[in-house]
Amino acid sequence: MSKKIFSGVQPTGNLHLGNYIGAIKNFVSLQNDPDNSCIYCVVDLHAITVKQNAVELKKNIRETTAAFIASGLDYKKSIIFNQSLVPAHAEGSWMLSCVARMGWLNRMTQFKEKAGKDKEKASVGLYIYPILMAADILLYDATHVPVGEDQKQHLELSRDIANKFNLDFNVPDFFIPPEPLIQKKFSRIMSLKDGTVKMSKSDPSDLSRINLNDSSDQIINKIKKAKTDAEPLPDDENELSNRPEAENLLGIYSSLSDQKLNKIINEFAGKNFSEFKKQLATLVVDKISPISLEINKLLKDEKFIDDILIQGAEKANIIASKKIQDLKKIIGFK
Ligand code: AMP
Ligand code: TRP
């Protein structure tokens, strides 16, 4: 079945190995299936739900785009653009916010986490963030949305909004309720310093993550220093259940080498970590260094990146503004 894919990544700083394995690598394989049409969006309107510095934001929009391209997204095959260039997202978001219910938003766990204790001081944008996300998806009639586990609830909200609009306005097929595409494996790459917490850009220790623009020496050093336990590597997957660091490092190896975890376990069974880490470092450097070099090369040509985004936005705008026109007719504006 042909799929219409839409996904977004916030331009909020260094992308890391978790983003690559959990999201971007998957975006690339979806793009390379000729049955799919894919749209990948740098969601800068979402980024401003928390305070941003203008210079940093611009830099991060370019960096995220460069990471997309360097990882294998092809602007000739996929539409790649940043959200703020297409006014339909903000416009559609308003109309959908009149469909979404307060009760639905009040259940969103990510808002509760991000707003923290003092939710009176959170921006209204942070609260209605999932409605903007619904607009992103619904305006393109996306059928499938690759996201991490943490975004599942937001996808359900998008489906609820689509269904309620279709019902309220008696237009059964107008919005397509999107399906989430959540990877079963590798949807959580863990910190190199603690196998029980997610690798994250907000971890204060840079040693906890491999950034997509780390140099080979940095990658080798970080893997050398990664936390492990005292036992040699096991010969059975079941023995990994209370060895989170071993499980994480073997998982990274399995994903980056595109080989089954079992095969990797067999290969390294009984070996000690120092030997495994050497080979893991070689693999990560092999896979990530070309991306890192390419990101840094692309970033030297800002016009090239800006042009990709502008051209992508032109294509996105044609699709999304048509949907907005139809939406306006249904609502009664036209
Ligand atoms: P974020 O860093 O929250 O903007 O995430 C961008 C994308 O990367 C989302 O699809 C996340 O689910 C995914 N992602 C972020 N951190 C990880 C991680 N540690 N492991 C796997 N996927 C991740
Ligand atoms: N909320 C998503 C995240 O934080 C980013 C996002 C915005 C998105 N709009 C989207 C993801 C539309 C998928 C589809 O990861």
Report the atom number in ligand 1 closest to the C-alpha of 19.
8
Establish whether residue 187 lines the binding site of ligand 1, counting it when its CB lies within 6 angstroms of any ligand atom.
yes
State the average pLDDT over residues 256-279.
95
Band (pLDDT 50/70/90 cuts) for residue 2 is confident
Does 136 reside within a domain?
yes
Is 122 in the same domain as 228? Answer: no
Does 196 reside within a domain?
no
Band (pLDDT 50/70/90 cuts) for residue 272 is very high
Does 179 reside within a domain?
yes
Reported as a single tens digit per residue, the pLDDT across 141-154 is 999 999 988 899 99
Nearest CA to ligand 1 atom 9: 148
Q: Give the closest residue to 227 by CA, choosing from 203, 212, 209.
A: 209
Phi-psi domain of 170 (left: phi exceeds 0; alpha: psi -120 through 50; beta: other): left
The pLDDT of residue 232 is: 94
The pLDDT of residue 140 is: 98
Handedness of CA 7, 147, 42, 109 (dihedral sign): positive
Q: Give the closest residue to 20 by CA, choosing from 57, 70, 59, 55.
A: 70
- Cα–Cα distances (Å) from 52 to 12, 44, 188, in that order, read 9, 10, 26
Q: Which structural domain, as residue segments, surrounds residue 43?
A: 3-187+301-331
- Cα–Cα distances (Å) from 293 to 24, 70, 212, 268, 290, in that order, read 17, 8, 9, 30, 5
Type of residue found at 289: S
Is 323 in the same domain as 262? Answer: no
Nearest CA to ligand 1 atom 11: 148
Give the end-to-end CA distance of the chain in Å, rounded to a whole number. Answer: 35
Smallest-distance ligand from the CA of 15? 1
Band (pLDDT 50/70/90 cuts) for residue 319 is very high
Does 198 reside within a domain?
no
Q: Which tokens sit at 98? A: 């009149």
Is 168 in the same domain as 293? Answer: no
Band (pLDDT 50/70/90 cuts) for residue 235 is very high
Give the CATH number, domain containing residue 279. Answer: 1.10.240.10
The pLDDT of residue 101 is: 98
User: Residues with Cβ within 6 A of ligand 2?
Assistant: 6-8, 10, 43, 46, 133, 136-137, 145, 147, 151, 154
**Whole-angstrom distance, CA of residue 71 vs CA of residue 65:** 10
In the reported structure, the alpha carbon of residue 150 is separated from the centroid of ligand 1 by a whole-number distance in angstroms of 8
Give the CATH number, domain containing residue 69. Answer: 3.40.50.620
**Whole-angstrom distance, CA of residue 251 vs CA of residue 10:** 25
Nearest CA to ligand 1 atom 8: 19
In the reported structure, the alpha carbon of residue 178 is separated from the centroid of ligand 2 by a whole-number distance in angstroms of 13
Is 15 in the same domain as 153? Answer: yes
Q: Which of 3, 58, 59, 201 is catalytic?
A: 201
Number of domains in the chain: 2
Is 303 noted as a catalytic residue in this protein? no
Average of per-residue pLDDT values in the chain: 96
Is 29 in the same domain as 53? Answer: yes
Does 72 reside within a domain?
yes
Is 325 in the same domain as 236? Answer: no
Report the atom number in ligand 2 closest to the C-alpha of 43.
7
- Cα–Cα distances (Å) from 112 to 45, 75, 169, in that order, read 20, 36, 31
Establish whether residue 199 lines the binding site of ligand 1, counting it when its CB lies within 6 angstroms of any ligand atom.
yes
Band (pLDDT 50/70/90 cuts) for residue 224 is very high
Is 45 in the same domain as 70? Answer: yes
Reported as a single tens digit per residue, the pLDDT across 205-222 is 999 999 999 999 999 999
Is 201 noted as a catalytic residue in this protein? yes
Best mutation site among 5, 81, 86, 136 for ligand 2 pocket (most ligand atoms within 8 Å of CB): 136
Establish whether residue 148 lines the binding site of ligand 1, counting it when its CB lies within 6 angstroms of any ligand atom.
yes
Reported as a single tens digit per residue, the pLDDT across 161-180 is 999 999 999 999 999 999 99
- Top-ranked range on mean pLDDT: pick from 1-5, 116-120, 206-210: 206-210
Is 277 in the same domain as 327? Answer: no
Is 15 in the same domain as 120? Answer: yes
Is 234 in the same domain as 310? Answer: no
Residue 48: phi and psi, rounded to 5, are: -80, 10
The pLDDT of residue 243 is: 96
pLDDT at 288 over 90: yes
Reported as a single tens digit per residue, the pLDDT across 21-74 is 999 999 999 999 999 999 999 999 999 999 999 999 999 999 999 999 999 999
In the reported structure, the alpha carbon of residue 74 is separated from the centroid of ligand 2 by a whole-number distance in angstroms of 20
Other Cβ atoms closer than 10 A to 304: 15
Range with the poorest average pLDDT among 62-76, 183-197, 303-317 = 183-197
Reported as a single tens digit per residue, the pLDDT across 194-205 is 999 999 998 999
Reported as a single tens digit per residue, the pLDDT across 25-36 is 999 999 999 999
Torsion angle, CA of 256/196/230/279, rounded to 10 degrees?
A: 10
Does 266 reside within a domain?
yes
In the reported structure, the alpha carbon of residue 294 is separated from the centroid of ligand 2 by a whole-number distance in angstroms of 25
pLDDT at 184 over 90: no
DSSP string, 77-116: TSEEEEGGG-THHHHHHHHHHTTS-HHHHHT-HHHHHHH-
Is 138 in the same domain as 37? Answer: yes
Q: Give the closest residue to 278 by CA, choosing from 320, 233, 308.
A: 233
Does 199 reside within a domain?
no
Does 194 reside within a domain?
no
Is 234 in the same domain as 281? Answer: yes
How far out from the chain centre does Cα 117 lie? 26
**Whole-angstrom distance, CA of residue 42 vs CA of residue 9:** 5
The pLDDT of residue 219 is: 97
